[in-house]
């Protein structure tokens, strides 16, 4: 079946799946018919609040039924969604909301102890208020090549950039994703990946609406709660990072929870132990496991295929999806091309031109190799991004925040090993006034998401610079191995 737009697909789910459960969120259980009715009403609320064709609105809230209704309601009103990371602090989120031109913000106040208020000049509505149910049923037509969402992602410049994707791109790619991941009609899909991320929203919510799977949103990853839901709700589909499967293996060994309903697993990482993949399939009830590679600027680019060996699934990220090409540049950078590549960065043609070359190749910033079968292996990052407990941290962005402190003259951030999180940031700072390590770390915790906050600070008289005036980070990393 071919749909012109995401709202067209979502609203058709009421006819396609009717009384089957669409969303289960705590005591709230909605059928597909009920969900589509709520989406139409929410669309009316957005329209009555002044959201017109192409207008943008931000959603700053954790995984929930309300998030799904808000997102699809906004799109059904002809709007463009701007999801905001729930771990962002006010300064970070306000920058994104302002630059996106969002006309309003839907936020869940009090989540993780934060107020989640948008900038003063942009109206903030509590996503759990009666706003979503206050409209009259409404639907505005969208075209396939209309932008459907703008997802902000940080680059080496340190300033998050808004990735523009269209309805057609999203529907085609995640229809294929359903096949690759073995998502089936009637599956019960626990989504632990955050909805503000492409994995949780598109490979989660949208894929479930395409296929007719029940969404079980998980706002905060909590192992006991996850195990309880698997048992009581008979979860069949459970994507997640390798740490999730380690937790399932430990629980299975204890034998206290019934995990027999689990059928399909999806994971992704640059390097997964082969033995972990083998254990997931042999010790747990999973019948299929998929791994893949993607990025906000191009969605899911590669994926493993049914029948791939444990070693292929563990050591590669599969081969390109239909309509996607991948190649390795002379310097080892992974380049991708095809219909999934973004329309560009919002209001930033220069950054777009730097990222997508004249031949249409998207420069990913990742380093990789590719075998004769087309299977891709990610071996590192060309840019200096590092990963803290599964979250991408960008030194330039963190340095920008540190430089806002009145006692900081210069700052450089490098990754250092951490036993629990894999990597964490270490800051090297040149002071312009009185400042202690503890004071700067405490200040940072108020300014940026926890995973970005440097875990340690070293004060220097000057930073090592090369001939062009750039900080020699390799020198800092060499001198400070931990």
Per-residue pLDDT tens over the stretch 330-366: 988 999 999 999 999 999 999 999 999 999 999 998 8
Taking the domains of the chain in order of start, what are their residue ranges? 6-370, 386-479
Q: What is the pLDDT of residues 190-231, one digit of tens each?
A: 999 999 999 999 999 999 999 999 999 999 888 899 999 999
Please report the DSSP string for 350-418 in residue order.
HHHHHHB-TTS-EEEEEEEEE-TT--EEEEEESS--EEETTEEE-HHHHHHHHTTSTTEEEEEEEEEEE
Instruction: Please check the confidence at residue 155 and state whether its pLDDT lies above 70.
Output: no
The rounded mean pLDDT for the chain is 92
Residue 330's pLDDT is 93
Give me the mean pLDDT over the 153-157 stretch.
56
**Would you say 73 and 132 are in contact if contact means Cβ atoms under 8 Å apart?**
yes
In the chain, how long is the greatest CA-to-CA distance?
Answer: 68
Q: Does domain 386-479 have CATH number 3.10.129.10?
A: no
CATH 3.40.50.12780 fits domain 6-370: yes
pLDDT band of residue 478 (cuts 50, 70, 90) is confident
The whole-number pLDDT of residue 147 equals 98
35-58: pLDDT as tens digits: 999 999 999 999 999 999 999 999
Q: Residues of the chain with pLDDT > 70: what percent? A: 96
327 with 361: CB under 8 angstroms? Answer: yes
Residue 74 confidence (pLDDT): 98
What's the pLDDT tens digit per position in 404-447? 899 998 899 999 998 888 899 999 999 989 999 999 999 999 99
What's the predicted TM-score (pTM) here?
0.83
Mean pLDDT throughout 397-401? 85
Per-residue model confidence (pLDDT) at position 157: 46
Q: What percent of the chain has pLDDT over 90?
A: 76
Residue 199: enclosing H or E segment and its boundaries?
helix 198-200
Mean pLDDT, range 174-199, rounded to an integer: 96
What pLDDT does residue 266 have? 95
């Amino acid at each position: 079946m071919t749909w012109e737009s995401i709202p067209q697909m979502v609203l058709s789910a009421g006819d396609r799946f009717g009384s089957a459960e669409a969303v289960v969120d705590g005591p709230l259980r909605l059928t597909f018919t009920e969900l589509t009715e709520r989406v139409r009403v929410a669309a009316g609320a957005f329209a009555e609040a002044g959201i017109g064709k192409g207008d943008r609105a931000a959603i700053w809230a954790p995984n929930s039924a309300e998030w799904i209704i808000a997102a699809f309601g906004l799109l059904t009103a002809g709007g463009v969604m701007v999801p905001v990371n729930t771990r962002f602090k006010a300064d970070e989120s306000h920058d994104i909301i302002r630059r996106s031109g969002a006309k309003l913000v839907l936020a869940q106040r009090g989540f993780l102890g934060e107020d989640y208020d948008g900038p003063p000049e942009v109206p903030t509505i509590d996503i759990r208020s009666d706003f979503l149910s206050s409209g009259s049923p409404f639907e505005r037509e969208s075209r396939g090549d209309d932008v459907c969402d703008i997802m902000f992602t940080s680059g080496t410049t340190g300033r998050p950039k808004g990735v523009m994707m269209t309805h057609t791109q999203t529907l085609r790619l995640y229809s294929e994703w359903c096949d690759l991941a073995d998502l089936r009609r009637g599956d019960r899909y626990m989504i632990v990946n955050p909805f503000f991320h492409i994995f949780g929203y598109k490979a989660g919510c949208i894929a479930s609406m395409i296929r007719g799977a029940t969404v079980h949103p998980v706002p905060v990853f909590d192992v006991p709660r996850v195990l309880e839901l698997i048992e009581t709700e008979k979860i069949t589909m459970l994507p997640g990072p390798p740490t999730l499967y380690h937790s399932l293996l430990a629980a299975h060994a204890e034998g206290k929870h019934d995990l027999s309903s689990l059928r399909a697993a999806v994971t992704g990482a640059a390097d997964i132990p082969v033995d972990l993949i083998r254990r997931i399939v042999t010790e747990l009830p999973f019948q299929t496991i998929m791994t893949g590679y993607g990025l906000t600027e191009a969605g899911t680019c590669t994926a493993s295929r049914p029948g791939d060996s444990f070693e292929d699934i563990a050591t590669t990220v599969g081969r390109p999806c239909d309509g996607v090409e991948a190649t390795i540049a002379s310097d080892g950078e992974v380049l991708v091309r095809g219909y999934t590549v973004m329309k560009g960065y919002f209001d930033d043609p220069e950054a777009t031109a730097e990222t997508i070359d004249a031949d249409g190749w998207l420069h990913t910033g990742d380093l990789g190799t590719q075998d004769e079968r087309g299977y891709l292996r990610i071996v590192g990052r060309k840019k200096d991004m590092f990963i803290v407990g599964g979250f991408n941290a960008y030194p330039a962005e963190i340095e920008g925040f540190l430089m806002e402190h009145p006692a900081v003259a210069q700052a450089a951030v490098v990754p250092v090993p951490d036993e629990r999180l894999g990597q964490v940031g270490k800051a090297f700072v040149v002071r312009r006034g009185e400042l202690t390590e503890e004071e700067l770390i405490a200040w940072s915790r108020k300014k940026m998401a926890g995973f970005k906050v440097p875990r340690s600070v070293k004060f220097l008289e000057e930073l090592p610079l090369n001939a062009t005036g750039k900080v020699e980070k390799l020198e800092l990393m060499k001198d400070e191995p931990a």
